[in-house]
Structure 1
Amino acid sequence: SRNADIDDAVNRAPGANDDGSGVAAILELARVFSQFTFESTVMFVAFTGEEEGLFGSRALAADLKASNVNVVGMVTNDIIGNVVGGSGQVDSLSVRCFSDNPSDSPHRQLARYMKLQGEAYLPGFTVRLIARRDRPGRGGDHFAFNEQGYTAARLTEPEDNLNHQHNMDDLPEFMSFPYLTKVVKVNAAYLASWADAPESPTNVRLTPQGGQQLLSWDKNAEAGLSYLVAFRGPESASYDSLVAVAAETQVALDPAPLPDGVFISVSGVDAEGNESVFSQEVVLRK
């Protein structure tokens, strides 16, 4: 890590939590994931030069873009090992997930997917969706991927504690390793499903049909898929309900019980139960 005072050439910033916690997480994930085979390539990367200007992440993101690599998304785990916030509040049961605007952006859809998958495999733990790219005045390596047009999100602990960031007190004794383990499990849950998931449905649309609305989407290239239709209210950050649809690519919706301005998305589900990241949303207006 880097000392908060850039002119201080004496005091160190050991960086146990910022971001030794993130590096430890990806090393453990890489160890576990190396024992399995996935349909997609999963890259575990520790970047250099984040504090000085995102040097490592910007170099990799630019190289991937120049090489036309199909990067479906990037998640950074940055500062994920502490449960005591700067206010003194203790929270060992949630992690913040930051994603960029707008509300229906691919970044938000990825964050919603991470929440759904992570919470399903870690009951009692909450992935808190934060409707902004990062904390005020702060940043992370996901910025570099945003800049190249890639979908990206950030996981970070429930509340920043500046007493243990960018100074000599960023030490292991101020971390919670049981909490860090929970965040690693959240990552494992969404990554394992995502790496084997089909592509997200495309061209999702609503068409008036009598007194109903016909929700339809293009058929995926992968055969044998079923689908989930997801709904969230105008004020909801995440999906309130999921409805399973068989192998059809359309479903008739009765708008009467649905609120005006409800957001609707579709996820493809393969035969093994792997769910795709949610599609672009459509809005039902009455």
Structure 2
Amino acid sequence: MKFSKRLALLALTALSLSYSLAYADTPKAGDQQAIHDIVADISAQRIEQDITTLVNFGTRHTLSETESDSRGIGAARRWIKQEFEKISAQCGGCLKVYFQSQVISGEKRIPNPTDVVSVIAVQRGTTDPDRYVIMSGDIDSRVSDVMDATSDAPGANDNASGVAGTLEAARVLTQHKFNGSIVYAALAGEEQGLFGGKIMAAQAKDDGWRIKAVLNNDMIGNIEGINGVINNTTARIFAEGTRVTESEQEARMRRFTGGEVDSPSRNLARYIDRIADEFIPNLDTMVIYRLDRYGRGGHHRPFNDLGYPGIRIMETNENYNRQHQDLRTENGIKYGDTLDGVNFEYAAKLTSLNAATLASMAWAPNPPVNVDIKGAVQPSTTLSWDALDSEQNPQLAGYKVYWRHTDAPQWEFSRYVGNVTEATLENIVIDNYFFGVASVSKDGYESPVVYPGPAGSFGE
């Protein structure tokens, strides 16, 4: 027995030594002070001020007043654009701010020609400006009748909270420079059919944007659920599985190699979940394997429809008495999406989650490209990928391979392998795990994990 214990101890020592050697050159990770500073700089007070301003426009219905300076969606979008321009002025013109519009007509909820106008602000990256991560909120609001464009529709939580969070993230992140580009979008026409997202996604595709993440923020301020739960410590991340753009050949490949739960959207969601664990105090995120809530939609969907990675971040406990309701009191119950239903500290917490994610991804190198895997009927597993462009990614230190049990929701194991394009995991059988690869910067910022093959690709 003593001899066996000694052998075990020697084996453990050898294993520890091999791991220490393998990790000797690993970039520092998990404690980037800049991310902590960004999280600390997000202001609940500024978010409250912005939500209040948006509520005071009376209604922001897509079909509402556009000429008034104080009421309707026209006044709201002009104010949002002015706020982005103020932010840009404070960072020396670091934002390109513009209206993005298209006339929509003949739709069930937009029967007559209507100019659907979103506000876009782009913070260009320093070395890889054509790589984008996007944070969005929705400008428009509504009451019980989706076609009622004149009644007061405060839309404090749905979705002034998302727009205010996007503005606040821009204020904080524009004080930093990033390798990749960050886009802050206040999208219009969501309640009438996701039109702002459709317009933006189509234009991004036409312009060749390499979109790596769309963070749709739709209702990030309510902590009191219709179920009676009051909770300011959790949030939901909705993420679709298999891409809707998957070809028949890709579907056949996925059937035999897996990837149903490793779409880029789901690995983006896992990435955000890890950001929450590492950087956001007192916040636990629930990654939900669904495009959105049952029978409902959001502005990430038009991006998903074109194959881009996109998720929805929102509160955990919804209060339906405050959503899409005429302002009234019935049987002692107050209905309507008003300011008193928003918890501004919670909205700031979810905004900080967005800001930390955007910063981490924009500082990280591009996600690995053309990730492949081999190991059938072998005792070991080999992953390979293309070398990243060194001019676009001068911050690249190397790559990290990840693996997990097939029923595990989050990546469990990892190994930094250096600046190589192939790595073999000895005595780790391909049949028993899911695998992926992330790129790592010299400062320890990582990309999301990329699952091998087309099912998990983040694109070029």
Q: What TM-score does the superposition give when structure 1 sets the normalisation length?
A: 0.90
Aligned to 1:196: 363
Change (3 A) 1:9 1:47: closer
Aligned to 1:234: 406
Aligned to 2:128: none
Aligned to 1:262: 433
Aligned to 2:342: 175
Q: 1:21 touches 1:180 (CA, 8 Å); kept in 2? A: yes
Counterpart check, 1:68 vs 2:208: yes
Q: Equivalences for 1:94-109 in 2 at 5 Å?
A: 94-102=234-242, 103-109=261-267
After superposition, give the CA deviation of every residue in 1:183-203 in whole Å (9 maximum; x if it has no partner).
Answer: 111111111011121111232
Q: Higher mean Cα deviation, 190-199 or 144-153?
A: 144-153
Q: Which of 191, 197, 203 is 1:57 aligned to?
A: 197
Deviation at 1:218, TM superposition (A): 2.8
Aligned to 2:171: 31
Give the letter for the 1:104 counterpart. Answer: D
Deviation at 1:173, TM superposition (A): 1.0
Q: Which of 380, 386, 398 is 1:218 aligned to?
A: 386
Give the letter for the 2:412 counterpart. Answer: D
Aligned to 2:86: none
Aligned to 2:84: none
Counterpart check, 1:157 vs 2:315: yes
Q: Equivalences for 1:116-155 in 2 at 5 Å?
A: 116-155=274-313
Deviation at 1:214, TM superposition (A): 2.5
Aligned partners of 2:386 and 2:149: how far apart in 1?
58
After superposition, give the CA deviation of every residue in 1:54-83 in whole Å (9 maximum; x if it has no partner).
Answer: 121211111121222222221110001011
Q: 1:18 touches 1:165 (CA, 8 Å); kept in 2? A: yes
Q: Equivalences for 1:79-90 in 2 at 5 Å?
A: 79-90=219-230
Aligned partners of 2:296 and 2:381: how far apart in 1?
43
Give the letter for the 2:408 counterpart. Answer: S
Q: 1:208 touches 1:214 (CA, 8 Å); kept in 2? A: no
Change (3 A) 1:147 1:208: closer
After superposition, give the CA deviation of every residue in 1:227-273 in whole Å (9 maximum; x if it has no partner).
Answer: 222222222222123333333333332446x7954211111101121
Q: 2:146 touches 2:192 (CA, 8 Å); kept in 1? A: no
Change (3 A) 1:211 1:240: closer
Aligned partners of 2:281 and 2:400: how far apart in 1?
21
Q: Higher mean Cα deviation, 225-234 or 43-52?
A: 225-234
Aligned to 1:272: 443
Please say which structure displays the higher CA radius of gyration.
2
Change (3 A) 1:73 1:251: same
Aligned partners of 1:7 and 1:201: how far apart in 2?
46
Aligned to 1:252: 424
Give the letter for the 1:171 counterpart. Answer: T
Give the letter for the 2:300 counterpart. Answer: H
Q: What TM-score does the superposition give when structure 2 sets the normalisation length?
A: 0.57
Aligned to 2:415: 243
Determine helix, strand or coil for the equivalent of 2:238: strand
Give the letter for the 1:229 counterpart. Answer: V
> What are structure 1's unaligned runs of at least 5 residues?
none
Q: Higher mean Cα deviation, 63-72 or 92-101?
A: 63-72
**Structure with more of its chain in helix, by fraction:** 2
After superposition, give the CA deviation of every residue in 1:152-201 in whole Å (9 maximum; x if it has no partner).
Answer: 11101012210111123211111111111111111111110111211112
Aligned partners of 1:243 and 1:124: how far apart in 2?
28
Give the letter for the 1:93 counterpart. Answer: T
Change (3 A) 1:123 1:240: farther
Q: Higher mean Cα deviation, 207-216 or 118-127?
A: 207-216
Aligned partners of 1:62 and 1:9: how far apart in 2?
27
Change (3 A) 1:208 1:234: closer
Aligned length: 282
Q: 2:381 touches 2:430 (CA, 8 Å); kept in 1? A: no
Deviation at 1:11, TM superposition (A): 4.7
Q: 1:83 touches 1:176 (CA, 8 Å); kept in 2? A: yes
**Structure with more of its chain in strand, by fraction:** 2
Larger RCO, structure (CA 8 Å, separation 6 or more) = 1
Q: 1:201 touches 1:217 (CA, 8 Å); kept in 2? A: yes
Q: 1:229 touches 1:266 (CA, 8 Å); kept in 2? A: yes
Determine helix, strand or coil for the equivalent of 1:183: helix
Give the letter for the 1:67 counterpart. Answer: D
Q: 1:204 touches 1:266 (CA, 8 Å); kept in 2? A: no
